[in-house]
Structure 1
Amino acid sequence: MPRRHRRSHRLCIRPFQLIIVRNGYVIAEEYSDLRTEDDLVTSWSVAKSFTSALVGRALDQEYIEDLDQSVADFIPDWQGTDKEDITIEYLMTLKTGLERINEVTLYNGADQLQLVLDRELIGTPGEVLYDYSNGVPMIAGEVINVGCGLYAQDYLEDKIGADFG
């Protein structure tokens, strides 16, 4: 077994796909027994990094005013509710105060974004502990959609994707 995979196998973590791009070129690519290069998978944690880069770019381009801007400016259903206290900063630091969604429910949901948007506020935004969540970055993606007028994936391709070659 290659040394680079010993730790992941010891921890019973088996990535389905791995691709490494450097200077616009694919320098490494590997697939588990369960996947091929033609399979599409949801990136989940990888998307968090790209989403934060998109929010940073949207801030630079003034589609988002600043980190203190309310997410409710982009999610009209949150206006006039306690969720109005959730800022871009709290979204990006995963300190929203939103109830955690069961990952199985999220993964199997027909409308994943709506499932996350509908979560109850169970803590004070910004004062709660960091809560690693796969749902909250979906809200950041919606901020990009509304604020920039482009779906997050299109904004990524237009503003950052060119950097990959």
Structure 2
Amino acid sequence: MKKRSIALAAIAAVLVAGGGYYASLDKETRGLLAAMPTDRDVLMWKQDQRDAAFRAMDRLPILAKASTIAPAAQPLPLPQGQPLNIPGVEQYMAGQRSAGIVILQDGKVRFERYGLDFDATGRWTSFSVAKSFTSTLVGAAIQDGYIKSLDDKVSQYIPGLRGSAYDDVSIRQLLTMSSGVRWNEDYEDPNSDVARFNNAKPEPGMDATVSYMRKLPRAHPPGEVWHYNTGETNLIGVLVSSATKKPLAQYLQEKVWQPAGMESPATWLLGASGHEIAGCCIQATTRDYARFGLFVLGGGVAGGKQIVPPDWFAQATVKQKDIGDPGHGYGYQWWTYDDGSVAAQGIFGQGIFIDPKRKLVIASNANWTRATKGPEPEAREAFYKQVQALIDAGK
């Protein structure tokens, strides 16, 4: 799989808190604050700093502001199923530096375990797992009539993009990351777009993402080349908010979080312009990430209502673009497998793996040793296959 991304603007530097503010924090939060990193770039954080930060992004106002997403009045039950005995799981979790794993099959909990002093009540940041939530909100906006077609031009909904390289780009091409607009996603290059666009000063009265993206040149004709681009997911978020006239967090609450029966509040970090960072940074419990997997398995039906078009996930979760990785592809902000499975993935080990054939959902959070380049991604893929094999064997 290719690099998963993070909107670096969400990770602002932790400043020295004023005495009055610091004293007002609870003991646990003060402890977390003491361990917080001071560098803006998450890739520069030390492991213990990430351990502290990934569970507390939304708890420190000096770190970042966030919108709150209220849970359902009646949470979707997750009854206990037959326990799944997974040989070597302790070693696997240690190697992954797992914060939590929840495995559901046929809507029942077959495995649930936590690490890194994290638990079922805590919220862990999603990083690019949020992209798949944002994609789903596009489907909801189509179902609600706010967006007419995926073939509509993006500039119809974001006037600030008129006259730019995005003028002829469709919503579908944004969803599949095939706009053809030039973009550098290299996190280790301080001059890359992904490093610069979050810190660029926006034009007066314009969303920060739109202000940066509208200046980019074209590299390929729209629709021809797949190229991973976090900035474009942020554009999708702006587009949904513009079409619905609602903040993303509010729309997610209305269309997914409450209808799908999420049990706990969630949050969504805000960027420089006060807009939710669509490509990153939802904070939620591991169980509620798993419930989102059930929502996808159910075809987007929740609370007795069809939230997205009936064929939405049939299109969103299959290979729309080849990514040069045999057996895998890219859908509408989903990573696809040729066996019909699909995943939402974020750097440092966040993921929701969904296998419709086996009615299987694996939600996991972690703090890998490296963002994507260590041994953990391959081990996680092997773990998914191990769980599938156990289920096929009737274990």
Q: CA deviation at 1:66?
A: 0.4
Q: Which runs of 5+ in 1 are unaligned?
A: none
1:118 aligns with 2:118: no
Task: State the alpha-carbon separation in 2 of the partners of residues 78 and 30 from structure 1.
Answer: 46
- Partners of 1:101 and 1:116 within 8 A in 2: no
| Residue 147 of structure 1 pairs with residue 243 of structure 2 | yes
8 Å CA contact 2:161–2:210 kept in 1: the answer is no
1:66 maps to 2:162 = no
Q: Does 1:164 align with 2:248?
A: no
What amino acid does structure 1 have at the position aligned with 2:129? V
User: Structure 1 counterpart of 2:169, which letter?
Assistant: I
Matched, 1:102 2:196: no
Q: Distance in 2 between matches of 1:4 and 1:97?
A: 44
Distance between the aligned counterparts of 1:96 and 1:136, measured in 2? 9
Question: Retained in 1: the 8 A contact 2:174–2:232?
Answer: yes
In the TM superposition, residue 14 of structure 1 has moved relative to its aligned partner by: 4.2
Distance 1:114 1:3 in 2: 48
1:127 aligned onto 2:224 = yes
Instruction: Write the distance in 2 (CA, Å) between the matches of 1:81 and 1:35.
Output: 45
Please report how far the alpha carbon of residue 103 of structure 1 lies from its aligned counterpart in structure 2 after TM superposition.
3.9
Q: Is the 8 A contact 1:101 1:135 kept in 2?
A: no
Residue 302 of structure 2 corresponds to which residue in structure 1? Answer: none
1:29-40 equivalences under 5 Å are 30-33=113-116, 37-38=121-122, 40=124
How far the C-alpha of 1:38 sits from its partner, in A, is 4.0
Q: Deviations over 1:44-94 (max 9, x none)?
A: 332122112110111111111101111112222210222111110001111
The structure with the greater share of residues assigned to helix is 1
Cα 1:160–1:94 shift into 2, 3 Å? same
Aligned AA (1:73): Q
Task: Report the Cα distance in structure 1 between the residues aligned to 2:88 and 2:228, rounded to whole angstroms.
Answer: 26
Q: Distance in 1 between matches of 2:127 and 2:234?
A: 10
* TM-score normalised per structure 1: 0.72
Count of residues paired in the alignment: 160
Evaluate the alpha carbon distance shift between residue 67 and residue 40 of structure 1 in structure 2; reply closer, same or farther with a 3 A threshold: same
**Cα separation, 1, equivalents of 2:186 and 2:155:** 23
Distance 1:60 1:86, change over 3 A: same
What is the rounded CA distance, in whole Å, between the counterparts of 1:4 and 1:153 in structure 2?
A: 39
Q: Which amino acid aligns with 2:249?
A: Q
Query: Secondary structure, in 3 states, of the residue corresponding to 1:69?
Result: coil
- Give the structure-2-normalised TM-score: 0.34
> Which residue matches 2:176?
93
Alpha-carbon distance, 1:101 to partner: 3.2
Distance 1:153 1:73 in 2: 22
Q: Which has the higher strand share?
A: 2
Q: Which has the larger Rg?
A: 2
Q: What secondary structure is seen at the aligned counterpart in 2 of 1:85?
A: coil
Partner of 1:83: 166
**Per-residue CA distance 1:11-33 (angstroms, 9 max, x = gap):** x6545555568999988655442
Deviation at 1:157, TM superposition (A): 0.5
